[in-house]
Amino acid sequence: MKNLQINYAFWCEQHPQSPAEEHIAFFHQELLQLYPGLLLRWAKIFGSRWAYFYGNSREVALNTVKTTLKPEYGICIDNPDMLGTIELERLVIKLKECFINVPVF
Amino acid sequence: MEAVSVKKWMDNVIKPEEVEKFRKNGKDFINETSIQEKLMANKQPEKQRIREIIAKALELNRLNPDETAALLNCTDEELWQEMYAAGLKIKQKVYGRRIVTFAPLYISNYCVNNCVYCGYRIGNQETTRKRMSMEELAAEIKALISKGHKRLIMVYGEHPQSDVHYIAETLQVAYSTKEGNGEIRRANVNAAPLAIDDYKILRDVGIGTFQVFQETYHRPTYQRLHPSGLKADYAWRLYSLHRAMEAGVDDVGIGALFGLYDWKYDVMGLLMHTIDLEERFGGVGPHTISFPRLQPAVNTPFVEEDPYLVRDDIFKKLVTVIRLSVPYTGMILTARENAAIRNDVINVGCTQIDAGSNIGIGGYSEETLDYNRQQFILGDNRSLDEAIRDMAKLGYITSFCTAGYRCGRTGNYFMEIAQKGKVHNLCMPNAILTFKEYLLDYASDETRNEAEFLIEQELAALPSEQVRKSVSEMLNRIENGARDLFL
């Protein structure tokens, strides 16, 4: 988890001018390496609409955790029990810190 | 607005490059000859083949054009009965025993087009023209909310006075207007085709679904019935929802106006449209399919002379074939049809209806019925409360659920779970919760008494103990004043 910000900074150096979607794909892969089996859906936020655009969840989840990472992006975690409350909170804080630098589409 | 500025506006709407980019090798996905050939080649389908096609649809697989053509050509009434039953089975498998309900809200009827069948056409001098101010719109929305509505389809004529900026402003008013416990939670739009950058403006204000109906996919007929105005451009309209999808509006609704041309051809057109959207956008086709039937309109003689008017029995058949052809897509049955037709046709697979509809501009707050302000004449004038009660008698729970698009269940994620028949695992609990809100806040005593059993019935039928427990807890919270709870 500590490495998420460092890895992201390094990735940004290697991939300047990358579109927003590639930033999201980076975080997606990082999270899956940290938590194999985590089910994620990334969304662009337009008013009330959370428009799904990337993820690995293909199932209907009943206890999804939905978090706004910045006004334009959100993440839905469909199996949050896998993380536990404390780990989930830590992850969301880290992601929000990183997402300050994610470009808006 | 002066005629010169309207003309100037019109000159800048259509962007030919935003048509061309979606064509395959310069060709449209509608190939008239190919559709006619498929209808001819599948003229006399055998019983066994029809049954195999029904079986394929029951597995929630989209049909191919030859299969749809075979169903359209079926003349065996026994097989049609099997198809009706399959339509209902598919609907219940994918969506459960629920009907999503919305209200149409006509905002402006100024129009630059001249569709010969439409009461709003520019040449119709007997139509009273009106464009709502934001204050009038807020009053309309409050009137709708006070009846219990949560979902709208907002309808606009094509005119610079109702351009994309005006539409965006009206959407913002729709979402920000509150009344009592209620609010509009999903605002869909039915408007003229836009350019990609304009769709992004609507995307950014949180549009629900964007609908554009092709009216008829038969190009020569289309050209004859849309002689002037922007709508005369067949291809600009044909790719309007491709542009919407490209802009990030990932819920789009297609439709055809049945009665303009041969019904079999236009069902094929809807299927071809679905296939092309799915192929272009990673498996994501239309969110809904609409199949309005041509209705009389003020000072519109075309309808009386129309040779393609669709009979009631044919209407039921075409709806059934659409259901079987695209088993996982929402289907909208509007109040153009009378109550008896709707109560019958809903059973072959429809998922959404409008109710308590008034299509006169300003009609909800004024509680008036003025044919001169309507695009056509409605067939079903039941109130929302009456319609909900009738649906309950048919065993359907009315859903005002709007959770999906607020929870990232859109685009190819939604399509995948719909195609697997899993949507109702979330949608039925949300239907129960929104129905409870309706019964508490808006229902008449009669409706509450006759429909409340559905809450217990559907709660008991939920497949998961865990979900039942969650929904029960949420129902208690709603009883105690909480609102807008969903899974």
Substitution target in B196, B405, B464, B484 with the highest count of A β-carbons within 10 Å is: B405
A49·B410 Cβ contact <8 A: yes
| Dist. CA B109–CA B112, nearest whole Å | 10
Q: What chain B residue is nearest to A75 in terms of C-alpha separation? A: B408
Q: In this model, does residue A1 exceed pLDDT 70?
A: no
Residues A15-70: tens digit of each pLDDT: 998 999 999 999 999 999 999 999 999 999 999 899 999 999 988 888 899 999 99
Question: Which chain A residues touch B406 with a CB distance below 8 Å?
Answer: 48-50
Helix (H/G/I), strand (E/B), else coil: B155: strand
pTM: 0.94
Confidence (pLDDT) at B54: 98
Q: Is there a contact between B156 and B190 (Cβ–Cβ < 8 Å)? A: yes
Substitution target in A49, A53, A57 with the highest count of B β-carbons within 10 Å is: A49
| Dist. CA B176–CA B184, nearest whole Å | 8
Please tell me if residue A104 touches chain B, with a CB cutoff of 8 Å: no
Question: Residue B356 half-sphere exposure, CB side, CA atoms within 13 Å?
Answer: 24
| Dist. CA B213–CA B190, nearest whole Å | 8
The whole-angstrom distance between A64's CA and the closest CA on chain B is: 8
Is A60 exposed, middle or buried, given 0-12, 13-18 or 19+ CB atoms closer than 10 A?
A: middle
Domains and CATH numbers, chain B: 3-24+90-417 (3.20.20.70), 424-479 (no CATH)
Q: What chain B residue is nearest to A52 in terms of C-alpha separation? A: B408
What does each of the 487 residues of chain B score in pLDDT, given as a tens digit? 667 799 999 999 999 999 999 999 999 999 999 999 999 999 999 999 999 999 999 999 999 999 999 999 999 999 999 999 999 999 999 989 999 999 999 999 999 999 999 988 999 988 889 999 999 999 999 999 999 999 999 999 999 999 999 999 999 999 999 999 899 999 999 999 999 999 999 999 999 999 999 999 999 999 999 999 999 999 999 999 999 999 999 899 999 999 999 999 999 999 999 999 999 999 999 999 999 999 877 788 888 888 999 999 999 999 999 999 999 999 999 999 999 999 999 999 999 999 999 988 998 988 766 666 666 778 888 999 999 999 999 999 999 999 998 999 998 888 888 888 888 788 999 999 999 999 999 999 999 999 999 999 999 999 889 899 999 999 999 999 999 999 9
Please tell me if residue A80 touches chain B, with a CB cutoff of 8 Å: no
- Residue B325 φ then ψ, to 5°: -70, -40
| Dist. CA B123–CA B117, nearest whole Å | 11
Question: Which chain B residues touch A62 with a CB distance below 8 Å?
Answer: 425-426, 464, 466-467, 470, 487
Q: Which residue is it, tokens 């989209």?
A: B62
By a Cβ cutoff of 8 Å, what residues of chain B touch chain A? 175, 185-186, 203-208, 248, 250, 405-414, 416-417, 422-423, 425-426, 464, 466-467, 470, 487
Both structure tokens of B59: 């597995």
Residue type, A73: Y
Query: ipTM of the assembly?
Result: 0.89
Minimal CA–CA distance to B375: which of B306, B292, B298, B309? Answer: B298
A50·B185 Cβ contact <8 A: no
Q: Is there a contact between B333 and B380 (Cβ–Cβ < 8 Å)? A: no
Residues A76-93: tens digit of each pLDDT: 999 999 999 999 999 999
DSSP H helix total and E strand total for chain A = 3, 4
Substitution target in B197, B407, B466 with the highest count of A β-carbons within 10 Å is: B407
Confidence (pLDDT) at B1: 60
Question: Which chain B residues touch A41 with a CB distance below 8 Å?
Answer: 408, 413
> Would you list the DSSP string of B285-351?
--SEEE--B----TT-THHHH-TTPPPHHHHHHHHHHHHHHSTTSEEEE-TTS-HHHHHHHGGGT--
A50·B411 Cβ contact <8 A: no
Q: Is there a contact between B94 and B61 (Cβ–Cβ < 8 Å)? A: no
Strand partners, B216: none
